Amino acid sequence: MLKIRNVSKSYSKGRVKAVDNISLDVRPGEIFGFLGPNGAGKTTTIKMITGILPIDSGTITVNGYDIEKEPIQAKMNMGFVPDNHDVYERLKGIEYLNFIADVYNVPAEERKERIDKYLEMFEIKDAAGDPIKSYSHGMKQKLIITGALLHKPPLWILDEPLTGLDPKSSHLLKEEMNQHCARGNTVFFSTHVLEVAEKLCHRIGIINKGKIIAVGTIEELRKSEDASLESIFLSLTEEGSGRYA
Protein backbone atom coordinates (compact mmCIF):
# COMPACT_ATOMS: atom_id res chain seq x y z
CA MET A 1 0.00 0.00 0.00
CA LEU A 2 2.82 2.40 0.94
CA LYS A 3 6.37 1.74 -0.25
CA ILE A 4 9.25 4.00 0.78
CA ARG A 5 12.57 3.16 -0.88
CA ASN A 6 15.94 4.70 0.05
CA VAL A 7 14.41 8.10 0.65
CA SER A 8 16.54 11.04 1.81
CA LYS A 9 15.81 14.73 2.38
CA SER A 10 18.06 17.61 3.42
CA TYR A 11 17.20 21.18 4.35
CA SER A 12 19.30 24.35 4.25
CA LYS A 13 21.19 23.42 1.07
CA GLY A 14 22.21 20.03 2.44
CA ARG A 15 23.38 21.22 5.84
CA VAL A 16 20.53 19.50 7.75
CA LYS A 17 19.93 15.86 6.78
CA ALA A 18 16.37 15.43 8.07
CA VAL A 19 15.69 11.99 6.51
CA ASP A 20 18.59 9.67 5.77
CA ASN A 21 18.06 6.77 3.35
CA ILE A 22 14.91 5.27 4.85
CA SER A 23 12.93 2.33 3.46
CA LEU A 24 9.58 1.05 4.76
CA ASP A 25 6.67 -1.07 3.58
CA VAL A 26 3.22 -0.53 5.06
CA ARG A 27 0.74 -3.24 4.08
CA PRO A 28 -3.00 -3.37 3.47
CA GLY A 29 -4.96 -3.95 6.68
CA GLU A 30 -2.25 -2.44 8.84
CA ILE A 31 -2.15 0.42 11.34
CA PHE A 32 1.47 1.55 11.31
CA GLY A 33 2.75 3.85 14.05
CA PHE A 34 5.65 6.17 13.21
CA LEU A 35 7.49 7.15 16.37
CA GLY A 36 10.57 9.23 17.09
CA PRO A 37 11.85 12.11 19.21
CA ASN A 38 11.21 15.74 18.27
CA GLY A 39 13.13 16.63 15.13
CA ALA A 40 13.67 12.95 14.17
CA GLY A 41 12.23 13.38 10.66
CA LYS A 42 8.62 12.18 10.99
CA THR A 43 6.89 15.23 9.53
CA THR A 44 9.52 15.54 6.80
CA THR A 45 8.85 11.90 5.80
CA ILE A 46 5.09 12.48 5.85
CA LYS A 47 5.44 15.64 3.73
CA MET A 48 7.35 13.61 1.12
CA ILE A 49 4.75 10.80 1.16
CA THR A 50 1.98 13.33 0.55
CA GLY A 51 3.87 15.21 -2.18
CA ILE A 52 4.20 18.47 -0.21
CA LEU A 53 8.00 18.29 -0.22
CA PRO A 54 10.05 17.04 -3.18
CA ILE A 55 12.18 13.95 -2.46
CA ASP A 56 15.96 14.47 -2.76
CA SER A 57 16.61 10.81 -3.61
CA GLY A 58 14.64 7.55 -3.49
CA THR A 59 11.03 6.75 -4.35
CA ILE A 60 7.63 6.61 -2.63
CA THR A 61 4.62 4.79 -4.06
CA VAL A 62 1.04 4.82 -2.79
CA ASN A 63 -1.13 1.92 -3.96
CA GLY A 64 1.35 1.48 -6.81
CA TYR A 65 1.42 5.16 -7.86
CA ASP A 66 4.69 7.07 -7.64
CA ILE A 67 4.07 10.33 -5.72
CA GLU A 68 6.42 12.27 -7.98
CA LYS A 69 5.61 10.66 -11.35
CA GLU A 70 1.84 10.14 -10.83
CA PRO A 71 0.96 12.70 -8.14
CA ILE A 72 -2.78 12.98 -8.86
CA GLN A 73 -3.42 9.22 -8.74
CA ALA A 74 -1.21 8.84 -5.66
CA LYS A 75 -3.03 11.69 -3.87
CA MET A 76 -6.46 10.29 -4.79
CA ASN A 77 -5.44 7.15 -2.89
CA MET A 78 -4.61 8.93 0.36
CA GLY A 79 -6.18 11.22 2.92
CA PHE A 80 -3.84 13.50 4.85
CA VAL A 81 -4.24 15.19 8.23
CA PRO A 82 -1.31 17.56 8.86
CA ASP A 83 0.15 18.38 12.27
CA ASN A 84 -0.85 22.04 12.08
CA HIS A 85 -4.35 23.41 11.74
CA ASP A 86 -3.71 25.88 8.97
CA VAL A 87 -7.04 25.94 7.22
CA TYR A 88 -9.03 28.47 5.23
CA GLU A 89 -10.19 30.49 8.24
CA ARG A 90 -12.59 32.74 6.32
CA LEU A 91 -14.65 29.85 4.98
CA LYS A 92 -17.51 28.33 6.90
CA GLY A 93 -16.95 24.70 7.94
CA ILE A 94 -19.42 23.39 5.37
CA GLU A 95 -17.90 25.55 2.60
CA TYR A 96 -14.48 24.10 3.39
CA LEU A 97 -15.84 20.53 3.22
CA ASN A 98 -17.67 21.17 -0.06
CA PHE A 99 -14.51 22.72 -1.49
CA ILE A 100 -12.46 19.64 -0.53
CA ALA A 101 -15.20 17.33 -1.89
CA ASP A 102 -15.10 19.27 -5.21
CA VAL A 103 -11.30 18.92 -5.40
CA TYR A 104 -11.61 15.14 -4.99
CA ASN A 105 -14.71 14.80 -7.23
CA VAL A 106 -16.88 13.30 -4.49
CA PRO A 107 -20.46 12.90 -5.89
CA ALA A 108 -23.22 14.90 -4.12
CA GLU A 109 -24.99 11.91 -2.50
CA GLU A 110 -21.80 10.45 -1.06
CA ARG A 111 -20.46 13.76 0.17
CA LYS A 112 -23.64 14.52 2.08
CA GLU A 113 -23.66 11.10 3.68
CA ARG A 114 -19.99 11.28 4.74
CA ILE A 115 -20.10 14.91 5.86
CA ASP A 116 -23.17 14.15 8.02
CA LYS A 117 -21.55 11.03 9.44
CA TYR A 118 -18.33 12.71 10.57
CA LEU A 119 -19.86 16.01 11.71
CA GLU A 120 -22.35 14.09 13.85
CA MET A 121 -19.71 11.72 15.14
CA PHE A 122 -17.42 14.59 16.16
CA GLU A 123 -20.36 16.66 17.44
CA ILE A 124 -19.54 19.70 15.31
CA LYS A 125 -22.60 19.64 13.04
CA ASP A 126 -24.09 22.72 14.68
CA ALA A 127 -20.92 24.68 13.92
CA ALA A 128 -20.82 23.75 10.21
CA GLY A 129 -22.40 27.07 9.22
CA ASP A 130 -19.95 29.15 11.27
CA PRO A 131 -16.68 30.62 9.97
CA ILE A 132 -13.70 28.37 10.72
CA LYS A 133 -11.92 31.25 12.46
CA SER A 134 -14.45 30.92 15.30
CA TYR A 135 -13.56 27.23 15.84
CA SER A 136 -11.49 25.91 18.76
CA HIS A 137 -8.24 24.03 18.08
CA GLY A 138 -9.99 20.66 18.48
CA MET A 139 -12.91 21.67 16.23
CA LYS A 140 -10.48 22.64 13.45
CA GLN A 141 -8.74 19.30 13.88
CA LYS A 142 -12.08 17.47 13.55
CA LEU A 143 -13.00 19.48 10.45
CA ILE A 144 -9.64 18.71 8.82
CA ILE A 145 -10.03 15.00 9.62
CA THR A 146 -13.52 15.05 8.06
CA GLY A 147 -12.18 16.74 4.93
CA ALA A 148 -9.31 14.25 4.65
CA LEU A 149 -11.65 11.25 4.73
CA LEU A 150 -14.38 12.54 2.37
CA HIS A 151 -13.03 10.83 -0.76
CA LYS A 152 -12.75 7.48 1.06
CA PRO A 153 -9.02 7.11 0.56
CA PRO A 154 -7.58 3.61 1.16
CA LEU A 155 -4.46 5.05 2.84
CA TRP A 156 -4.76 7.48 5.76
CA ILE A 157 -1.67 9.55 6.57
CA LEU A 158 -2.09 11.25 9.92
CA ASP A 159 0.58 13.46 11.55
CA GLU A 160 -0.11 13.45 15.31
CA PRO A 161 -3.88 13.17 14.72
CA LEU A 162 -4.92 12.81 18.36
CA THR A 163 -3.27 16.03 19.53
CA GLY A 164 -5.94 18.46 20.69
CA LEU A 165 -8.82 15.98 20.55
CA ASP A 166 -10.90 15.43 23.68
CA PRO A 167 -11.04 11.85 25.06
CA LYS A 168 -14.33 11.01 23.34
CA SER A 169 -13.25 12.29 19.91
CA SER A 170 -9.89 10.63 20.31
CA HIS A 171 -11.64 7.33 21.08
CA LEU A 172 -13.93 7.72 18.05
CA LEU A 173 -11.02 8.44 15.73
CA LYS A 174 -9.13 5.39 17.03
CA GLU A 175 -12.28 3.29 16.39
CA GLU A 176 -12.45 4.68 12.84
CA MET A 177 -8.80 3.78 12.32
CA ASN A 178 -9.49 0.22 13.48
CA GLN A 179 -12.54 -0.14 11.23
CA HIS A 180 -10.69 1.33 8.25
CA CYS A 181 -7.97 -1.29 8.61
CA ALA A 182 -10.44 -4.11 9.28
CA ARG A 183 -11.82 -3.35 5.79
CA GLY A 184 -8.36 -4.03 4.34
CA ASN A 185 -7.19 -0.39 4.22
CA THR A 186 -4.13 1.21 5.78
CA VAL A 187 -3.29 3.86 8.37
CA PHE A 188 0.17 5.42 8.74
CA PHE A 189 0.33 7.85 11.64
CA SER A 190 2.86 9.60 13.81
CA THR A 191 2.39 10.01 17.53
CA HIS A 192 4.25 10.77 20.72
CA VAL A 193 1.67 8.91 22.79
CA LEU A 194 3.31 5.54 23.25
CA GLU A 195 0.34 3.98 25.05
CA VAL A 196 -1.79 4.70 21.97
CA ALA A 197 0.83 3.22 19.66
CA GLU A 198 1.15 0.14 21.84
CA LYS A 199 -2.60 -0.53 21.87
CA LEU A 200 -3.54 0.51 18.34
CA CYS A 201 -0.70 -0.36 15.99
CA HIS A 202 -0.06 -3.64 14.25
CA ARG A 203 3.51 -2.54 13.59
CA ILE A 204 5.71 0.33 14.67
CA GLY A 205 8.66 2.11 13.09
CA ILE A 206 11.03 4.24 15.16
CA ILE A 207 12.99 7.01 13.45
CA ASN A 208 15.88 8.80 15.14
CA LYS A 209 18.10 11.48 13.60
CA GLY A 210 16.65 10.72 10.17
CA LYS A 211 17.32 6.97 10.28
CA ILE A 212 14.90 4.09 10.91
CA ILE A 213 16.33 2.34 13.96
CA ALA A 214 13.60 -0.25 14.54
CA VAL A 215 10.59 -1.73 12.68
CA GLY A 216 8.27 -4.49 13.79
CA THR A 217 5.40 -5.59 15.96
CA ILE A 218 5.59 -4.69 19.65
CA GLU A 219 6.47 -8.33 20.33
CA GLU A 220 9.30 -8.21 17.79
CA LEU A 221 10.66 -4.96 19.24
CA ARG A 222 10.56 -6.47 22.72
CA LYS A 223 12.60 -9.48 21.65
CA SER A 224 13.44 -11.41 24.78
CA GLU A 225 12.91 -8.50 27.17
CA ASP A 226 9.54 -7.99 28.79
CA ALA A 227 9.77 -4.24 28.26
CA SER A 228 7.14 -1.54 27.77
CA LEU A 229 7.18 0.39 24.50
CA GLU A 230 8.30 3.40 26.53
CA SER A 231 11.44 1.71 27.81
CA ILE A 232 12.20 0.23 24.35
CA PHE A 233 11.76 3.70 22.80
CA LEU A 234 13.94 5.40 25.40
CA SER A 235 16.75 2.88 25.23
CA LEU A 236 16.78 2.85 21.40
CA THR A 237 16.66 6.60 20.92
CA GLU A 238 19.22 7.28 23.63
CA GLU A 239 21.70 4.72 22.36
CA GLY A 240 21.04 5.74 18.75
CA SER A 241 22.13 2.21 17.87
CA GLY A 242 20.40 -0.14 15.48
CA ARG A 243 20.02 -2.87 18.09
CA TYR A 244 16.45 -3.72 17.14
CA ALA A 245 16.61 -2.74 13.47
Ligand X SMILES: Nc1ncnc2c1ncn2[C@@H]1O[C@H](COP(=O)(O)OP(=O)(O)OP(=O)(O)O)[C@@H](O)[C@H]1O
* Residue 64 binds ligand X, judged by CB under 6 A: no
User: Any idea what DSSP says for residue 41?
Assistant: S
Q: Closer CB to ligand X, residue 56 or residue 70? A: 56
HEC-encoded secondary structure of 77-124: CEEEECCCCCCCCCCEHHHHHHHHHHHCCCCHHHHHHHHHHHHHHCCC
Size of the site for ligand X (CB under 6 A): 12
> What is the Cα–Cα distance from 19 to 42, expressed in whole angstroms?
8
**Smallest gap from residue 43 Cβ to ligand X (A):** 3
- Mapped onto helix, strand or coil, the DSSP state of residue 216 is strand
Question: What dihedral do alpha carbons 237, 79, 181, 162 form, nearest 10°?
Answer: 50
- Residue 12 in the binding site for ligand X (CB under 6 A): yes
How many CA atoms are closer than 13 Å to the CA of 38, on its beta-carbon side? 0
Segment contacting Mg ion (CB under 5 A): 3-11, 35-43, 139-147, 210-218? 35-43
Question: Residue 115 or residue 201: which is nearer to ligand X going by CB?
Answer: 201
134 in helix, strand or coil?
Answer: helix
Site for Mg ion in 42-81 (CB under 5 A): 42-43
What is the Cα–Cα distance from 119 to 128, expressed in whole angstroms? 8
Query: What H or E segment, with its residue span, contains residue 177?
Result: helix 167-182
Whether residue 30 contacts residue 155, with contact meaning beta carbons closer than 8 Å, is answered with: no
Q: Give, for 199, the enclosing helix (H) or strand (E).
A: helix 194-200
Nearest distance from C-beta of residue 106 to Mg ion, angstroms? 28
Angle at 214 between CA 20 and CA 51, to 5 degrees: 45
Q: List the single partner that 99 binds among Mg ion, ligand X, none, CB under 5 to 8 Å by kind.
A: none
Sheet holding 2-11, edge to edge: 16-26, 2-11, 57-62, 65-66
Q: Which is nearer to Mg ion, 36 or 79 (CB)?
A: 36
Q: How far is the CB of 39 from Mg ion (least distance, A)?
A: 8
Cβ distance to Mg ion smaller for residue 3 or 192: 192
Binding of ligand X by 18 (CB under 6 A): yes
Residue 153 binds ligand X, judged by CB under 6 A: no
Binding mask 30-59 for ligand X (x = CB under 6 A): ------x-xxxxxxx---------------
| Cβ proximity to Mg ion, 119 vs 201, nearer residue | 201
To the nearest whole angstrom, how small is the minimum distance from the Cβ of residue 58 to Mg ion?
20
Task: Report if residue 237 touches ligand X, rule: CB under 6 A.
Answer: no
240 scored as a contact of ligand X (CB under 6 A): no
Specify the residue, 45 or 98, whose C-beta has the smaller distance to ligand X: 45
Kindly list the residues in this chain that would bind Mg ion in the complex (CB under 5 A). Answer: 42-43
Kindly list the residues in this chain that would bind ligand X in the complex (CB under 6 A). Answer: 11-12, 16, 18, 36, 38-44
